[in-house]
Amino acid sequence: MNIGILWKSGSSEGWIDTFSISDFKKDCINELYIHPVISKGEKSTFAACIKTVQGSHVCLDYRPFPITNEHEDILLGIVEFKIDVKKKKISKFTWQDINSSIIEEVDYQQTSPSRKPKIPQRIYNLLACEDIDKLDFRVLNAQ
């Protein structure tokens, strides 16, 4: 089952982040995660991030992949939200831009995308250019 977040404000207005509910069923820390994003023009692009799941709290950190994400027109920063996997419901959706210390609540609408495109080889090629071994990932505590 897919779940989507339609951004209703800011510079990502009109974009839809698409996730699989099953990707948030198990706790994990600092796991590579790639998911499709449908742009305003209905074109699918892909975002690379580091995923941390602690219970119902999810943190997606896009900062470690500047080459990949900027190439795909994805903003760098941190998304956090609560997810109820059984009810397939997302809440408390926030964004923190890479250039800001302010955590903003996001105006969003939950959607149910029918498609989840396969990750193309070009994304893996871009990821190969990233030097993530030198980065120190932060692990957020569940709020």
Residue 117: per-residue pLDDT: 74
The pTM score is: 0.87
Residue 91 phi/psi, 5° resolution? -145, 170
Taken as a whole, the chain contains a residue count of: 143
Name the residue with higher pLDDT: 115 or 54: 54
**Of 82, 81, 83, 108, residue with least CA distance to 96:** 81
> 138 pLDDT exceeds 60?
no
Tell me how far CA of residue 116 lies from CA of 44, 73, 93, 121, in angstroms: 9, 18, 21, 15
- Report which listed range, 3-17, 76-90, 104-118, 125-139, is most confident: 76-90
Task: Give the start-to-end residue ranges of the domains of the chain.
Answer: 2-134
DSSP for 73-129?
Answer: TPPPEEEEEEEETTTTEEEEEEEEETT-S--EE--EEEE--S--PPPPHHHHHHHTT
Q: Give the sign of the dihedral formed by CA 68, CA 76, CA 15, CA 36.
A: positive
pLDDT digits (tens, 9 = 90+) for 13-42: 999 999 999 999 999 999 999 999 988 767
Average pLDDT, the chain: 87
Count of Cβ atoms closer than 10 Å to residue 69 Cβ: 24
**What is the CA 34 to chain-centroid distance, rounded?**
8
